[in-house]
């Protein structure tokens, strides 16, 4: 209540700081008007108070400002990280994106509080880590860092995934077989999602961090421009464990392509129409010079702090979007974060669908 009171009292005041527009008398207009100011690297009261995405401008020129919460947007089978002391109360991030088609720029400014300094992840195979031929992320790492992933959550893009006609095992997707699929395979079209991200960064001693970067408007790319994006999906690896009519009851495992070269990403207005989302992952810190600092396996699958801007209100603190709900086309798609977001928070594996009944053998 105190926080909301502060919000209501303060936002009109902040509106008076806007340089180019008259002060607004209502809170939402006031915060929107404050976005006419240049982005600030300092953690401000707005970063404390922002509870939902704010959009101003249009597809050519505009700004998004929104909150990022623990485990608001974990992927299927993601390992959701928690601070070693089990205290998630201070965790928060904010993202401000300013885009301008005329200057061909999209600028990201992310600010963070409460980040553990050197995240370490140690998992147990078969318990909270599941080896995956189509996503070769490491099981363990120490002295890690963070990357912010930019996710196009659109489920309307599809690719063919090729399965061995005899074993029903996944062989790869169109992207694995640029010269055509292997003999004896058949295709299953499945949704794919584009992701790109920042370079690795580490927080200050107090757990705060600021990371900003700029990309081109006309082609989405990873920070630094070494790559554009990668496609990811959640697919059955054994088609026998999949149920086409009800995929949420079947096997669904992470799949990711290799990075695509620069210049192949969609333009920012397409990104905006594709369902924009963000997810901070804990990642290993290696330099990866061969991939320009980008992870060769694209992402670690160690989710931490994020949000889905492409839903009204975003995801509130303490809730997570359920990707199986989206796949199954059912609502409400929000569930409480299993590991919590306050004192006593803990790690968990999100919505694992590693194995399923062998539907093809009649085991319903």
Partner 1 sequence: MRKLFSYSVAALAVSTAAVAVRADTPIADFILRQVYNASVRYSTTVEFPQRIGARGDVARGRRVFGFNDAETAIDNSGGLFEGQSQVGGTITSNGKVCATCHRSEAFQYGMPPLPLSATIPLNDPVFNTAPEDGADPNAFFNADTLGLFAYRPNRFNPLRPADDPFRQVFFWRKTQRLLNVVFTFGLLNDGRFREMVEQARGAVFTHTQNGDDRFDDLVAVQRLLDIGAFQESHIDPPELSALLDPADPNYATLVNDPFHTVNLTTNQQRLGETVFAYNCMSCHNMPNVFSNVDHWNGPPLNFPPLYGHTFDIGISQRNRFNLDVRKFDTATGTRVPIVLPLVTQDGRTVQYTVADDVGAAGSTGRFEDLHKFKVPQLRRVSQMAPYFHDGSATTLEEAVDYFNTAWYNDSAEGQLHPIHLSQPERNAVLAFLRAL
- The smaller minimum CB distance to partner 1, of residues 191 and 292, is found at 191
Alpha carbon distance 70, 114 (integer Å) = 11
Q: Report the SS3 class of residue 126.
A: coil
31: part of which helix (H) or strand (E)?
Answer: helix 27-34
Please pick, from the candidates 207, 334, 338, 340, the single residue that binds partner 1 as defined by CB under 8 A: 334
Please tell me whether residue 12 binds partner 1 under the rule CB under 8 A. yes
Nearest approach in angstroms of CB 355 to partner 1 is 18
Nearest approach in angstroms of CB 34 to partner 1 is 13
328: part of which helix (H) or strand (E)?
Answer: helix 323-328
Nearest approach in angstroms of CB 65 to partner 1 is 10
Alpha carbon distance 110, 88 (integer Å) = 19
- Helix axis angle, 27-34 relative to 2-15, nearest 10°? 60
Nearest approach in angstroms of CB 133 to partner 1 is 27
Kindly identify the residues of this chain, within the stretch 27-66, that bind partner 1 according to CB under 8 A. 27-28, 32, 45, 51-55, 59, 64, 66
Nearest approach in angstroms of CB 4 to partner 1 is 4
Alpha carbon distance 132, 105 (integer Å) = 36
> Tokens 């965790």 sit at which residue?
91
Nearest approach in angstroms of CB 9 to partner 1 is 5
Alpha carbon distance 364, 285 (integer Å) = 44
Please tell me whether residue 138 binds partner 1 under the rule CB under 8 A. no
CA distances from 66 to 94, 249, 262 (A): 6, 33, 27
Alpha carbon distance 87, 298 (integer Å) = 29
Provide the H-helix boundaries in 176-315: 268-272
Alpha carbon distance 95, 77 (integer Å) = 25
- The smaller minimum CB distance to partner 1, of residues 164 and 342, is found at 342
Please tell me whether residue 210 binds partner 1 under the rule CB under 8 A. no
Please pick, from the candidates 19, 124, 179, 312, the single residue that binds partner 1 as defined by CB under 8 A: 312
- Phi, psi dihedral angles at 153 (to 5 degrees): -80, 5
- The smaller minimum CB distance to partner 1, of residues 124 and 156, is found at 156
- Looking from the CA of 77 toward its CB, the CA atoms found within 13 Å total 26
Kindly identify the residues of this chain, within the stretch 313-332, that bind partner 1 according to CB under 8 A. 313-314, 316-319, 321-322, 324-326, 328-332
Nearest approach in angstroms of CB 10 to partner 1 is 5
Please tell me whether residue 291 binds partner 1 under the rule CB under 8 A. no
Kindly identify the residues of this chain, within the stretch 63-82, that bind partner 1 according to CB under 8 A. 64, 66, 69
Alpha carbon distance 178, 176 (integer Å) = 6
Please pick, from the candidates 39, 86, 155, 225, the single residue that binds partner 1 as defined by CB under 8 A: 155
- Phi, psi dihedral angles at 195 (to 5 degrees): -135, 150
Please pick, from the candidates 25, 124, 125, 290, the single residue that binds partner 1 as defined by CB under 8 A: 25
- The smaller minimum CB distance to partner 1, of residues 41 and 273, is found at 273
- The smaller minimum CB distance to partner 1, of residues 226 and 334, is found at 334
Binding string, 235-274, against partner 1, x = CB under 8 A?
--------xxxx-xx----------------------xxx
Cβ atoms of 154 and 193 closer than 8 Å: yes
The pair of three-digit structure tokens given for residue 118, joined into one six-digit string: 């050197």
- Residues in contact with partner 1 by the rule CB under 8 A: 1-10, 12-13, 25-28, 32, 45, 51-55, 59, 64, 66, 69, 153-156, 243-246, 248-249, 272-275, 308, 310-314, 316-319, 321-322, 324-326, 328-334, 336, 341, 359, 364
């Amino acid at each position: 209540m105190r926080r909301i009171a502060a919000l209501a009292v303060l936002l009109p005041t902040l509106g008076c700081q806007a340089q180019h527009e008259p002060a607004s008398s209502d809170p939402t207009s006031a915060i929107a008007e404050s976005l006419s100011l240049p982005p600030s690297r300092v953690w401000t009261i707005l970063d404390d108070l922002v509870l939902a995405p704010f959009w101003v401008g249009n597809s050519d020129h505009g700004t998004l400002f929104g909150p990022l919460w623990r485990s608001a947007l974990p992927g299927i089978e993601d390992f959701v990280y928690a601070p070693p002391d089990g205290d998630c109360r201070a965790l928060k991030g904010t993202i401000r994106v300013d885009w301008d088609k005329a200057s061909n720029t999209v600028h990201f400014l992310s600010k963070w509080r409460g980040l553990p300094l050197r995240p370490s992840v140690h998992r147990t195979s078969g318990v909270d880590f599941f080896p995956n031929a189509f996503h070769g992320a490491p099981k363990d790492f120490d002295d890690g860092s963070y990357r912010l992933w930019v996710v196009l959550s659109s489920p309307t893009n599809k690719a063919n995934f090729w399965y061995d006609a005899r074993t029903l095992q996944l062989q790869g997707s169109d992207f694995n077989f640029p010269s055509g699929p292997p003999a004896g395979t058949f295709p299953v079209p499945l949704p794919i999602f584009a992701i790109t991200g920042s370079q690795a960064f580490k927080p200050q001693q107090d757990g705060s961090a600021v990371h900003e970067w700029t990309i081109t408007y006309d082609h989405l790319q990873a920070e630094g421009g070494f790559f554009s994006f990668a496609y990811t999906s959640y697919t059955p690896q054994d088609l026998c464990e999949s149920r086409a009519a009800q995929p949420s009851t079947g096997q669904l495992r992470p799949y990711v392509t290799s990075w695509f070269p620069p210049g192949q990403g969609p333009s920012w207005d397409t990104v905006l129409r594709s369902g924009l989302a963000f997810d901070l992952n804990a990642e290993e810190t290696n330099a990866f010079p061969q991939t320009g600092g980008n992870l060769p396996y694209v992402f670690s699958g160690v989710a931490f702090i994020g949000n889905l801007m492409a839903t009204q209100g975003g995801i509130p603190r303490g809730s997570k979007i359920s990707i199986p709900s989206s796949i199954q086309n059912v609502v409400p798609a929000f569930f409480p974060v299993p590991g919590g977001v306050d004192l006593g928070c803990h790690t968990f594996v999100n919505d694992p669908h590693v194995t399923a009944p062998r539907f093809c053998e009649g085991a319903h």
